[in-house]
């Protein structure tokens, strides 16, 4: 299979592949327990006859066993990406139906796995099952298909990156987070504008769309290291708790959820525990508990002490992006120094800095 990165112009009726992984959109209520349980895609499709009215050729695949997204793991990220890679030359875009709870993690993961991606991969789902009268699933599915099939005047893909479409907004996947368990407008992108807004028309913000910057072929990179933990700070956190987390056997990366712009207590014991962990080779990345804004450890002394202890700033990345990116980088067998530098380097649009090409990143001499 060729898997060329630079997309060919669409001069035919566009073809979109839908991958159904599970999630609320395809669930039905169990009459005995009242709980929502996943069904197969045929059940879902039967509730959306409007799909037949789209000027798009749609094919479908599904996980053998549809999953509640709370059960998603890195091996499922790999399977999603494999579907894209194996079918890359045969479709103009891809839609992945996914539960909302971990959708932002999966979209972020695929943005790193699918190196040199040049076609749309659109995640969507719903807050209510497709068979419920007030479901948001129909609109989300139909619009996601339209976006995945969309092309510009010369036939090039409109959005050649991994995104999340939900309700009225298209967000970059690795900039997104679920912020509401109740509202139909469940996702936000705190530090990056929507790529498109959907009303009567789909209005694309072309200057915010990330286009392929390389002529290299699509190259998947599947390895993730799961030896990562999140430590959320709070006033009065116990030294014994911090020490026990930092000394977890086999731990390679820690995401520190700090206050404000990356601030933490300045107790000597705390700073020394972090410094000792960094000296042992642990990669510690500082991210803010705030939804918007980012980490600027040099702004206050409380953050500067973390920096001096060897803690890396996570910039404006979401916690989801920091976790997945750290797992991804640790899975590539890079040196400790390279992992630290790449955490502050824009790889797939997760940071505002200018992107490096994957060829540069994977060059063994780059950033060492």
By annotation, the residues acting in catalysis are 24
- How far are the Cα atoms of 90, 224, 227 from residue 330, in angstroms, in the given order? 32, 7, 9
CB 214, CB 148: distance < 8 Å: no
Tokens in use for 231?
């430590």
Distance CA 340, CA 285 (A): 9
Q: Are 76 and 47 contacting, i.e. CB atoms less than 8 angstroms apart?
A: no
Sequence-distant (6+) residues with CB within 8 A of 277 are: 246, 247, 254, 284
CA of residue 366 relative to chain centroid, distance: 25
Q: Distance of CA 184 to CAs 85, 135, 181, 285, 363, Å?
A: 31, 9, 8, 32, 43
Question: How would you label 258-291 residue by residue, b for 16+ Cβ within 10 Å and e otherwise?
Answer: bbbbbbbeeeeebbebbbebbeeebbbbbbbeee
CB of 225 closer than 8 Å to CB of 198: no
Rounded CA separation 136/142 (Å): 11
Reference 120, options 177, 164, 59; nearest CA is 164
Place of tokens 């036939």: 155
Q: Which two tokens mark 184? A: 């139909």
Residues 195 and 159 sit within 8 Å (Cβ to Cβ): yes
Is 126 in contact with 136 (CB distance < 8 Å)? yes
Which among 110, 100, 91, 111 has a CA at the least distance from the CA of 8?
91
Rounded to whole angstroms, how far apart are CA atoms 220 and 190?
28
């Amino acid at each position: 299979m060729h898997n060329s990165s630079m997309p060919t112009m669409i001069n035919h009726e566009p073809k979109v592949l839908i991958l159904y992984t599970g999630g609320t959109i395809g669930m039905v209520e169990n009459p005995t327990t009242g709980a929502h349980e996943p069904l197969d895609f045929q059940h879902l499709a039967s509730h959306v006859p409007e799909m037949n009215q789209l000027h798009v050729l749609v094919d479908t695949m599904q996980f053998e066993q549809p999953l509640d997204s709370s059960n998603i793991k890195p091996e499922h990220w790999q399977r999603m990406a494999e579907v894209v890679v194996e079918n890359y030359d045969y479709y103009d875009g891809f839609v992945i139906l996914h539960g909302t709870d971990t959708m932002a993690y999966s979209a972020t993961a695929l943005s790193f796995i699918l190196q040199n991606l040049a076609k749309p991969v659109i995640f969507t789902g719903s807050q209510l099952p497709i068979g419920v009268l007030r479901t948001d699933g129909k609109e989300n599915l139909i619009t996601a298909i339209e976006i995945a099939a969309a092309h510009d005047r010369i036939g090039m893909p409109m959005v050649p990156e991994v995104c999340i479409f939900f309700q009225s907004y298209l967000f970059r996947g690795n900039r997104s987070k679920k912020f509401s368990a109740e509202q139909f407008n469940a996702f936000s992108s705190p530090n990056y504008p929507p790529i498109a807004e959907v009303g009567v028309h789909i209005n694309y913000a072309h200057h915010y769309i990330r286009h392929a910057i390389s002529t290299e072929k699509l190259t998947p990179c599947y390895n993730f290291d799961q030896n990562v933990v999140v430590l959320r700070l709070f006033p009065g956190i116990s030294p014994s708790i911090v020490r026990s987390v930092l000394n977890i056997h086999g731990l390679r990366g820690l995401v520190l959820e700090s206050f404000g712009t990356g601030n933490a207590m300045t107790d000597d014991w705390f700073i020394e525990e972090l410094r000792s962990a960094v000296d042992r080779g642990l990669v510690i990345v500082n991210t803010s508990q705030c939804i918007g804004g980012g980490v600027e450890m040099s702004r206050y002394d409380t953050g500067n002490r973390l920096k001096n202890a060897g803690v890396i700033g996570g910039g404006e990345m979401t916690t989801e992006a920091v976790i997945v990116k750290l797992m991804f980088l640790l899975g590539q067998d890079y040196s400790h120094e390279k992992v630290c530098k790449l955490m502050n380097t824009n790889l797939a649009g997760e940071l505002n800095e200018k992107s490096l090409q994957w060829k540069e990143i994977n060059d063994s001499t780059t950033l060492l």
